[in-house]
Chains A and B, each alone.
Chain A
Amino acid sequence: MIALNTMIAQNRFGLGARADDGPLRDPRDWLKAQLEPDTSLPPQLAAIPKTEDAIAQTKAIAQQRKEIKKELVAAAAATGTPLEMNSKSKPIVPQDQKPQVTLGDLYVDQVAARVAAAVATDAPFRERLVHFWSNHFAISADKQAVRALAGPYEQEAIRAHLDGSFGAMLMAVAHHPAMILYLDNERSFGPNSISVQRRVGNGNRDQGLNENLGRELLELYSLGVRTGYTQADVTELARAITGWSVVSDRPEAQRSMMTGQHGFAYYPPVHEPGKRVIMGKTYAQEGHDQGVAIIADLGVHPATAHHIATKLARHFIADDPPPTAVAKLERVFNETGGDLPSLHRALVDLPEAWAGKPEPKYKTPWDYLISLVRLTGPGDTKPRQLAGLFTQLGQTVYVPGAPAGWPDVAAAWLSSDGLSKRIDIATAVGKAKGATLDARALASKLYGPSLSSATRNAIAMADSGQQALALLLASPEFMRR
């Protein structure tokens, strides 16, 4: 039997208890110990490429595919045979002619590594925080340009800044090539910049601003939607970050580019000249410094504090978080300048997080599968099948489909199809592992006194170990955290 607080620490703050986890002597201390500065990378992630290398691989694969398809089309034209098409209307490249490594392979390897790290970690609260912030600053790896960048992005922009301030993470995100490519900032040009003026002079077609990154920096990543900024502020921020781009190997680009970390590059000739005014404040800085100054202000803005406090409280307490908890987190954010470890410790100290219903949050598909594997042990599922399981459950890893990231409320996840698929998985895992895992012992160990009589009875009266384990994995307790 375990104390309720151990259950909450392991399941709500952590990623789910493992079969061999013991009771926690002090659950709060256990959580806070995971917040000590840690620059190491989980060993399962050691093979995740650096962004520069992943971009080079992406380019090489695109080039290979282009050449292979050119040859296929030419061969088909020469012989007069029609090309076989896939369901996406692309020529089917025969297996033996495919590039040795595809973007899909790189993506699947990164998903498998993320899963392996989440399953193996002894610091599951810390790992959950990486996932939380990664989802707050979401990119979506269905865009080919960032298909192989989600893993590197998560380590370099998110994990590496977990022990610093929110503003530093925001700054790293805004500079990261994955975010720049995802939200098209490499295609955003100052209309009055030297480069565009020269092109217009040469009769080339207009190039202009792309507001995508500017808008999301305000709306999603810092202040939050409808917090007082205007469309004019969006445009001003987009102007301020013109020139924030990625390293190019084109000679004319190389002449002007100033490189940063992880393959970031700043191109002065496409930067919109002049001072910018955002929410009434004038930024007279030149060049790259201008965007840096604006984003630094966004990182400590009171609206940002409220936005972040609300999202954290929603993730760790309830879909509709108690205003008292939000207010406390907001105060910590404002008092510490958005220091993340202070915020994370404050979460642990919130009485609201330990009171109320024992399991107020319906698990996302990610939470569900990770907690299931942590409890029952990894099987021999191949990485590609594993990635496919998340898709079947409706949450393709690293592919939320929009910069807003995955929703964090039950309304988005508690669907008939989603529940049905979870139960199918519970059934399959019950069959595979029910003979060796004692569901009665596991249920008692996981939930202790908070186990409902309905679940306890269902497991006790099961007709086999397989059925008992399936029932535990399908139970209302296990669907929530």
Chain B
Amino acid sequence: MITRRTLVQSGLAAGLFPALGFKTAYAATPNDRRLVVIILRGAMDGLSVVVPYGDPAYAPARGKLALDINKDATKVDGMFALHNALAGFSGGYTAGEALAVHAVASPARGRSHFDSQNVLETGGLAPYQYSSGWLNRALSVLPGAQAIAVTTGMPAVLQGPAKVGSWSPSRLPEPNSDLADRISQMYESDLALHAAFTEAQSLNALAKEAGEDKMAMGGGGGKPLTLLGGVAAKLMAAPGGPQFIVLERTGWDTHANQIGALNNSLSDLDGTLAAFKSGLGSLWAKTAILCITEFGRTVAVNGTNGTDHGTGTCALLYGGAVKGGRVLADWPGLAHANLFEGRDLKPTADIRAVIKGVLADHIGIDPARLATTVFPQSAAVTPMHGLMRS
């Protein structure tokens, strides 16, 4: 962590960061930690991922979607069990580097995917209140920090004035090296294009090393995110790799036949997490992966063996820097009287508190900046401290 003292000593403070007032020990420049944000679009059923089997109301309320705790999930304490499709994450839990926060939600209560994803990513209180995302605003208080979206199109969480790189697999053949050189030369007097093309070429080269061709040919083999995660990990681990990477995956909107669908999605997510762990190498110790979704699903099963849009759900945090082996929850209970609007897991934690905790303690952003710039209107939402090892 760079403090004002070390900056002043190195003579950089006045020249490079004249506009910043350093008041605390929190970083105003990037540290060497890494953060991966995976957005699970479609509303993941937290009750099937981190299963509250110890709540006597769970099995009766969940009916035929209640998981068999001896077969479908693995107990991690007297209250919760982890879905067996998350085998790698479970292993991380045992090793003390994976945790879950349960009964969590964004401020959105409308149960619309569009609006709630917008709130989750822009960090406001209402949809479309802000046009930039919270991670882009985090970049704005960390001059020099880099982020890359490994998605098609820029996700809302990274949109905004701070410059962000992007890479996604192409279905078209790229130019050969001769043509690429000629393009690069043609761009020489055009700074913006030259910078973007240079970055694109190095990302493409790294992606190729990481097996992007396999992905383009095989189409992901039913695990679209796992292969992408392998590429993303290589991008992050490369010299000068970005501090932040954002990925996304759809497939969580399990209105029908939830069991099979969730199995597929979770094993893809678990494979992605494993791809990061193996791909990041020694950087894993400095990494946190945060998995968040726009809301949870109804406690009751619907008429098509699925669940409908709900409210409270869980967030997952995994990585060598995470102080894991815990499920954090102020558990509201699943008895009917305890449900939100008589149907959903009642949220008892704000997802912004989780994110603020990670950004403060892992990335080192001053909580005062978090409460004003990164998550405006969140002064009352205290960062959840203690999620990280140090």
Contacts and interface: CB of A to CB of B under 8 A. Distances in A.
B173 interface: yes
B31 interface: no
Interface stretch (A2-10, A266-274, A328-336, A410-418): A410-418
B189 A415 contact: no
Contacts, number: 161
B7 to A, nearest CB: 29
Contacts of B257: 73, 82-83, 85, 89, 91
B265 interface: yes
Interface string A370-391: 0000000000000000001001
Nearest to B183: A474
Contact of A88 (B153, B193, B253): B253
B192 A416 contact: no
A239 B251 CA distance: 36
Interface stretch (B174-182, B272-280, B374-382): B174-182
A394 B153 contact: yes
A453 to B, nearest CB: 9
Greatest chain A CB density within 10 A among B154, B167, B179 is at B179
Interface string A439-481: 0000000000000101100100111000100110011100100
Nearest to B153: A394
Contact of B182 (A391, A396, A414, A467): A467
B61 interface: no
Contacts of A33: none
Interface string B231-256: 00000000000000000001111111
Contacts of B201: 420
B186 to A, nearest CB: 4
B57 interface: no
Interface stretch (A21-29, A55-63, A344-352, A423-431): A423-431
Given A415-B164, A419-B197, A88 B251 contact: yes
Contact of A463 (B159, B170, B178, B306): B178
Question: Would you call the interface of chain B mostly helix, strand, loop, or mixed?
Answer: loop
B193 A73 contact: no
A128 interface: no
Given A89-B258, A471-B183, A423 B197 contact: yes
B170 A424 contact: yes
Interface residues of A, number: 56
Contacts of B192: 410, 414
Contacts of B252: 89
B172 A87 contact: no
A301 interface: no
Given A73-B257, A73-B304, A425-B172, A416 B199 contact: yes
B196 A416 contact: yes
A258 interface: no
Contacts of B74: none
A428 B174 CA distance: 8
Interface string B122-151: 000000100100000000000000000100
B348 to A, nearest CB: 24
A260 B201 CA distance: 55
Interface in B318-375: none
Contacts of A411: 161, 163
Interface residues of B, number: 62
A274 to B, nearest CB: 25
Contacts of A426: 175
Nearest to B201: A420
B172 A427 contact: yes
A404 interface: yes
Contacts of B187: 454, 476
B8 interface: no
Contacts of A410: 192
A476 B191 CA distance: 10
Contacts of A402: 114, 118, 128, 156
A91 B256 contact: yes
Contacts of A69: 256, 304
A311 interface: no
Nearest to B189: A454
B196 A414 contact: yes
Interface in A14-41: none
B109 to A, nearest CB: 13
Contacts of A476: 186-187, 190, 193
A261 interface: no
A392 interface: yes
Contact of B250 (A87, A391, A423, A452): A87
Given A89-B261, A424-B174, A415 B165 contact: yes
A417 B167 contact: yes
Given A87-B224, A89-B262, A392 B186 contact: no
Interface string B193-228: 100110111011000000000000000000010000
Interface string A269-313: 000000000000000000000000000000000000000000000
A425 B174 CA distance: 8
A479 B197 CA distance: 12
A428 B172 contact: yes
B197 A89 contact: no
A90 interface: yes
A421 interface: yes
A98 interface: no
A143 interface: yes
Nearest to B195: A416
Nearest to B250: A88
Interface in A351-409: 388, 391-392, 394-396, 401-404
A189 to B, nearest CB: 15
Contact of B154 (A87, A216, A394, A452): A394
A321 B262 CA distance: 49
B186 A471 contact: yes
Given A417-B149, A421-B172, 17 more contacts: A87-B250, A87-B251, A89-B253, A89-B254, A89-B258, A89-B262, A391-B152, A414-B196, A416-B196, A417-B166, A420-B167, A420-B200, A427-B174, A428-B173, A470-B175, A474-B186, A476-B193
Interface of B: 42, 112, 114, 118, 128, 131, 149, 152-154, 156, 159, 161, 163-168, 170-175, 178-179, 182-183, 185-190, 192-193, 196-197, 199-201, 203-204, 224, 250-258, 260-262, 264-265, 304-306
5 contacts: A69-B256, A91-B256, A140-B114, A420-B204, A474-B186
A-B CB proximity, top 9 nearest: A89-B261, A417-B166, A420-B200, A424-B172, A416-B200, A416-B199, A458-B186, A394-B153, A427-B175
